[in-house]
Amino acid sequence: MTRLAIDGPASSGKSSVGGRVAAALGYGFLDTGLLYRAVTRAALNQHLVSAPTAAVVKSVAPQLEKIAQIVDAELLEGGAAIVIDGRSYAAAELESAEVEALVPLVAALPEVRDALRGVQRRIAGRGRAVLAGRDIGTVVLPDAPHKFFLDASAEARALRRALQRGHAQGSTEHAQILAALIDRDREDRGRAVAPLRAAEDAITIVTDTLTLDEVVAKIVGAVQR
Ligand code: C5P
């Protein structure tokens, strides 16, 4: 069973790179952030969370854990279909502002992480797979034979994201994206459970000055060697 772990901060290109690497190798691909997002979306749909605060989210941890236990994903080339209780969640509905505000709090709950760790291992165990996330190489698949950590400065990631969304360099939107990324990095690296960090045996690729194709070629080359 060949498994590939790709970790890195928000907007480091994990999903684009992971999807392309999976396609090049003929593997399935799972962006694991979508699992946390789907749990969050399902909780919102069930009106479980009345406000996006840590205290409110913690008070419904047992219910969130139950949802996380029944998440599943079918790995397809270039993406995955996320399903909870027979309902599938499209990527677009997992990217709403409501989900964005709540998902870091949901992802910080040990109960949710424990449940999703089992889910991720089960999915990865079904066949050859690339998993992208924050703690794949360190916690979810510590025995994965291939681990990569994509890194880039917050400035480079913010500029990339701003241009992708059609905002000019130096615009107010660009500044807002940079500020949000710095906050997100602090949350990801500073959380008590499974903080973002490179596994000791991961190959770190700094992507500031690399194109998507170059990053994909480095990873595919390393796996094929
Ligand atoms: O990568 P994305 O922004 O979709 O991740 C959504 C949320 O899930 C983030 O808060 C991130 O910290 C969390 N996450 C995580 N572990 C993963 C993948 C994502 O905690 N393996």
Asked if 71 and 126 count as a contact pair (C-beta separation under 8 A), the reply is no
CATH at 81: 3.40.50.300
What's 60's DSSP letter? T
Residue 170 lies in a domain: no
Kindly state if the Cβ of 132 falls inside 6 Å of ligand 1.
Answer: no
Residue 161 lies in a domain: no
Which of 15, 29, 35, 36 for a ligand 1 pocket mutation test, highest count of atoms within 8 Å of Cβ?
36
Kindly state if the Cβ of 10 falls inside 6 Å of ligand 1.
Answer: yes
Kindly state if the Cβ of 65 falls inside 6 Å of ligand 1.
Answer: no
Residue 183 lies in a domain: no
Low-confidence ranges of the chain (pLDDT < 70): 1, 77-78
Task: Kindly state the tokens that stand for 78.
Answer: 């270039």
Distance in Å, CA 35 to ligand 1 centroid = 8
Burial of 33-65, coded b for 16+ CB within 10 Å and e otherwise, reads bbbbbbbbbbbbeeebbeebeeeebeebeeebb
* Residue nearest to ligand 1 atom 10, measured at CA: 104
Query: How far is 175 from 169, CA to CA, in rounded Å?
Result: 9
Residue 166 lies in a domain: no
Kindly state if the Cβ of 107 falls inside 6 Å of ligand 1.
Answer: yes
**Looking at residue 173, what is its pLDDT?**
95
Kindly state if the Cβ of 112 falls inside 6 Å of ligand 1.
Answer: no
Residue 175 lies in a domain: no
The secondary structure element, H or E, covering residue 115 is helix 110-124
Query: How far is 84 from 155, CA to CA, in rounded Å?
Result: 36
Residue 194 lies in a domain: no
* Residue nearest to ligand 1 atom 1, measured at CA: 33
Distance in Å, CA 106 to ligand 1 centroid = 10
Kindly state if the Cβ of 37 falls inside 6 Å of ligand 1.
Answer: yes
The amino acid that residue 123 corresponds to is I
Query: How far is 97 from 142, CA to CA, in rounded Å?
Result: 32
**Looking at residue 194, what is its pLDDT?**
84
**Looking at residue 78, what is its pLDDT?**
61
What's 139's DSSP letter? I
Distance in Å, CA 101 to ligand 1 centroid = 12
Kindly state if the Cβ of 135 falls inside 6 Å of ligand 1.
Answer: yes
Distance in Å, CA 34 to ligand 1 centroid = 8
What's 168's DSSP letter? P
Tally of domains in the chain: 1
Kindly state if the Cβ of 133 falls inside 6 Å of ligand 1.
Answer: yes
Asked if 105 and 192 count as a contact pair (C-beta separation under 8 A), the reply is no
**Looking at residue 193, what is its pLDDT?**
86
Exposed / middle / buried, residue 216 (Cβ in 10 Å: 0-12, 13-18, 19+): buried
Residue 176 lies in a domain: no
Kindly state if the Cβ of 157 falls inside 6 Å of ligand 1.
Answer: no
**Looking at residue 1, what is its pLDDT?**
63
The boundaries of the domain holding residue 216 are: 3-152+202-224
Residue 118 lies in a domain: yes
213: Cα separation from own chain's centroid: 20
63: Cα separation from own chain's centroid: 22
Distance in Å, CA 163 to ligand 1 centroid = 22
Q: Write the DSSP assignment of 7-29 as a string of letters.
A: E-STTSSHHHHHHHHHHHHT-EE
